[in-house]
Copies of this chain bind each other. A is one copy, B any other.
């Protein structure tokens, strides 16, 4: 793993880029007291070190017609540690995590309707080793945000 040590300037730049990755290096630099060139250098190094991955856009799920969000506990009768691809093959699944506890995988699912959610559950049962699911439907999302560099 790469050597660490993000100083306060790096963390400030990361926070600013999380808020708006499209702003000019001159503006970024002004906010942290650096020139555009120096800011460019630091951001480039953060990318090279893998601290910053891709720059992307946040999409409104509702605008894509995805109004239903649910978390599904997936119980298994076998070792699920190498089933990442099977879950990734279901596009409605946004996240999949192996967890400690009774269930073995926790997945986050977004669909247009509850009928489509049911269809995802059906496809989950088709994954090797899956013995059961417990879906929890989200009624309201308070917020979803990126990891805070300040913690």
Of the four ranges (under 10, 10 to 19, 20 to 34, 35 or more), the interface on chain A belongs to 35 or more
The CA-CA distance from A142 to B108 in the complex, in Å, is: 12
> Are B57 and A58 neighbours in the complex by a CB distance under 8 Å?
no
State whether B60 touches A53 (Cβ < 8 A): yes
Partner of A66, one of B57, B95, B110, B147: B147
| A91 B57 Cβ-Cβ under 8 A | no
* CB-based contact A141/B52 at 8 Å: no
Which residues from chain B contact A94 at a C-beta distance below 8 Å? 144-147
Q: Residue on B with the closest CB to A23? A: B55
Whether the pair A98, B17 counts as a contact (CB closer than 8 A) is: no
Q: Is there a chain B Cβ closer than 8 Å to A36's Cβ?
A: no
Kindly state whether residue A33 has any CB partner on chain B within 8 Å: no
Query: Which A residues lie at the B interface, using CB under 8 A?
Result: 1-2, 4, 6, 14, 17-22, 49-66, 69, 71, 81, 83-84, 87-88, 91-92, 94-101, 105-106, 110-112, 136-151
